[in-house]
Each structure stands twice: as C-alpha cells, then as structure tokens.
Amino acid sequence: MRLPPPLKPGSRVALVAPSGPLRDESDLTHAVANVQAFDCDPIVGEHVLARDGYLAGSDALRLADLNRFAQDDSIDAVWCIRGGYGATRLLDGIDYDAWCRRPRALIGYSDITALHAAIGARAELVTYHGPTARAALTHYTRDALALAVRNSDSITIRSDEMTVLRAGHARGRLAGGNLALVASLVGTPYELDLEGAILALEDISESVYRIDRMLTQLRLSGALSGVAGIAFGHFTEIPDDAANVDRPLERVLAEVAATCGVPAVANFPIGHIDDQVTLPLGTMAELDVGLSTMFIER
C-alpha cells in the first residue's frame, strides 16, 4: 500500500461533502478554520452547501467535487466535512485512475468508510480514518491527526479505556471503519478484504440487536473468517432500551471475538467521540491486548 506524501505548511486541502448535508454555513466555517489551523490552504468544493434531503446535493454534484479534486494534481489532501449517508451512491462513478496517478490523503470517518474501502483498494493507497473537517477538534484529536498525516513515523496508540475481550497478540493490515458501512458493502465489488487484517469498527445510534445483526452478517458471509484481530471502537448513543441492558453490547462483542478466536479489545479510541485517534488504513499494525496498545508501522 502506498503512503500519501505527508502534509506540510502550505499544502492544499480540498473540502468536500460526499454524504449528508451540512447543517449550515457554520459547518463550512469550522472546516476552513480546521484546515488553516494546520497551516494548510483550504480549497472548498463548489457544491458543498448543496442539499437534496438527506444528501449534500445530487449524486452528480457530490461526485463532481470529489472527482474534480482527484484530477487536480495541486491538491494534497481531500478532507470530508461530514459523514451521514450517501458515499456508497458514488462508488461506481469515482475516478480511481486519478487517485492511482496522484496519491493524496483522504480523511474522514463514519459514512466515509465507503470511500476508504473503494479508493484504498483500487488505488492501493493508505487512507485516514480520522475526524471530519467540521468537527470541534480536541487537543488529543488534533495531535493524533497531525501525527498521522504530517509525518511518516510509526504510531503507538495506548488507552487505559481499552478492555480485554480476548487476550493475545495480533499482527495484520489495518482495515475497517463504520460497522454499518462495512456490513453494507458485503456482496458488492467494494467489499473489504479482511484476510489477515486487524479489523477496527465503530458506530453510532444503533441498538445492540442491530450491532449483533451486522456482526452476524459479517460472520455468515465469511468476511471475518480470516481476521487476525479485532479492535472494537466506541458504539455511542445506544438507545435507552431494557433489551440493551439485559443483553449488553460487550457481551455481543465478546461472543464475536470468541467465535473468531482472535485477540480483541473494546473501547479502542475511534468512533463518534471527542478524543479519537486517526488510523492509517492499509498499514501494518500490531495489537497487544495485554498492554492495551496498538503499534502502527509506516
């Protein structure tokens, strides 16, 4: 997998909205400010403020911004302003040749998982599962993003919040992202290849039974049969329902880890949380459950 050139002061960072619509112009203001805080130059997509119901404009408009920046060799990174829904609708129209010709950073998470899966595989490119551009970045999140995109050094992630689901040590290629997106890509040309991978997963606003169902889909499809390890991130805003208390999430995650027979942790620092790490998807990593540590090679 190719590592994009590190961002540096003066790098040109394109801002796109390939999924859900921005709340208002304040989202764009925050995104521009975040780019400038890294001493980079924000280049705003022409259609980022478009709206078509739950989409940030029509598929054609969203795709036009994404492909325009992929074809522009002066652009050093594409940072998605928000997630939501809609990226999967664009996958058949992406100019993958442009991403192959000119590697650049792709940054975002949640619905942007679809772009990571498709562009990462077809361009053999490391992409960054990190915060969206409109987010209010904490010092932790900002530093983690900078560490990932501004240099080519190895990364060590350690968190006392991680909990052991299944002990052990695993080494493999980093893959994954949002569980709903990973599951929805099964059976499509963009399905993730998880053979020998350390799978990182997160999600938001899903009941435990729905998380169970999506993980079961991955298991029954065979997608999990070759994973080397699993880092379950945060599953936030689980609905307040008695069933979610009677059959808690950690029990479901532990069942998956046991079925797969691989080292696994919960509460890995990714997801819809304030303090999140940026994962360079496609790089090799080592997960040491006993030390609550992930070491990412570069």
Two tokens at 232? 């379950």
pLDDT of 281: 98
With contact defined as beta carbons under 8 Å apart, do 147 and 279 qualify?
no
pLDDT of 76: 98
Two tokens at 160? 């006392």
CATH architecture observed for domain 156-296: 3-Layer(bba) Sandwich (3.50)
List the beta strands (DSSP E) in the chain.
Answer: 12-16, 41-44, 77-80, 105-108, 127-129, 155-158, 163-166, 169-178, 197-204, 229-236, 264-266, 279-281, 284-288, 293-296
pLDDT of 237: 93
Q: How far apart are CA 57 and CA 81, in angstroms?
A: 14
pLDDT of 240: 86
Residue with the two structure tokens 């119901």: 53
Residues of the chain with pLDDT under 50: none
Q: How far apart are CA 113 and CA 244, in angstroms?
A: 26
pLDDT of 243: 79
> Which residues have a catalytic role annotated?
110, 202, 272
Two tokens at 45? 């997509």
12-153 adopts what CATH topology?
A: Rossmann fold (3.40.50)
pLDDT tens for 33-68 read 999 999 999 999 999 999 999 999 999 999 999 999
Which of these, 137, 110, 174, 124, lies nearest to 35 by C-alpha position? 137
pLDDT of 153: 86
What is the domain partition of the chain in residue ranges? 12-153, 156-296
